[in-house]
Chains A and B, each alone.
Chain A
Amino acid sequence: MISFILLALLNGLCIGASRAINGRLGSHIGAFPTSWWNHAVGFALLSALLLLTPGPTPALLETLHSAPLLSYAGGVIGVLFVALNSHVLPRIGTTRTAVLVISGQMVTGVLLDFHGQWHTSTLAQLAGVALIVAGIYLSRRPVKPAASLATR
């Protein structure tokens, strides 16, 4: 369990680093070209990892047949996600990007995990969502997107 916790924490650092690096590239070449570089470099790295990993690699055709079609949409959603991050981060900063992405993530997570049954925990989840929404409401204040770029 501890190792899973550490892996998930490390994942957060990886997300932050990827987002910050892509934000920098995005401010030079644009959000969608940045998204392409992100996926192409990632694909190359993962191809190498797959080749180097010992043990059974799942048969490509078998997986293609058995997994539901919708599960392949993750890659397409990822393109939009990276483009949005690259656009937003140089304009509103790393912390605020992280906090707002997290807010969207958590509320969506609650919705995805909700299967129509009300428990006592549902109330606590709603309270959590309310806290997040309150936080987002607080964050709504005038932002000057040009200033951050000009002072660089």
Chain B
Amino acid sequence: MFPMLKGSTNLLLALLGGVLLALMIKLNGELARYSSALFSSWVAHGIGALAALLIVCLISTKSARHHTNSSPGKAPRWSYLGGIPGAFTVVLAGITVNSPLGLAGSLALMMVGQVIFGLLTDQRGWFGVPRRPLTRRDELVTVCVLAGSALIIFSR
């Protein structure tokens, strides 16, 4: 998909993902204020499905040739179901962003949940994730980010 990207560019893409996530939660939370969390999630997924379909159609001819990183074998059936926990994510975010937790508080607790999940899956290889032991540096980075995030949340 992105054949020219190597090394730390993936780290930058992950950072960009975080920027997009915060914006997405903000916008979906806004939509939820005008309707409900469930309804805004439904609308967001419908619009997203259409947008993704459009993008896939536009790039399909090019990417078919450049898709060199694909894993061997067929994708397992369960791997098509990532949208199920994803759908609950928007519903839950719509609820907590409009609660006393606010945007930052919601982000803080979601981030703890994500790190717990990350530690478990990296160690045990759940969901077919490549197993990788945590290095000292990973631990230091995680502590820095968690501490910085906590500072941001509790100083509001």
Give the interface of A toward B (CB within 8 A): 1, 4-5, 7-25, 27-43, 45-47, 49-50, 53, 57-58, 63, 66-68, 70-85, 87-110, 112-113, 121, 124-125, 127-136, 138-145, 148-149, 151-152
Main secondary structure of the interface of A (DSSP, over half): helix
B129 with A24: CB separation less than 8 A: yes
| A13 / chain B contacts, CB cutoff of 8 Å | 85, 113-114, 116-117
Interface residues of B in 88-143 (CB under 8 A from A): 88-93, 95-96, 99-101, 103-119, 121-122, 126-130, 132, 134, 137-138, 140-143
Pick from A1, A66, A106: contact of B149, CB below 8 A. Answer: A106
Pick from B21, B67, B95, B103: contact of A113, CB below 8 A. Answer: B103
B22 with A42: CB separation less than 8 A: no
A12 with B144: CB separation less than 8 A: no
Main secondary structure of the interface of B (DSSP, over half): helix
Q: How many residues of chain B get a CB closer than 8 Å to chain A's CBs?
A: 118
Q: What does the 1/0 interface line of B35-71 toward A look like (CB < 8 Å)?
A: 1101111111111110111011001000100010111
| B31 / chain A contacts, CB cutoff of 8 Å | 67, 71-72, 74
A125 with B52: CB separation less than 8 A: no
Pick from B19, B48, B70, B150: contact of A29, CB below 8 A. Answer: B70
Given known contacts A91-B10, A106-B111, A145-B6, is B49 in contact with A112 (CB within 8 Å)?
no
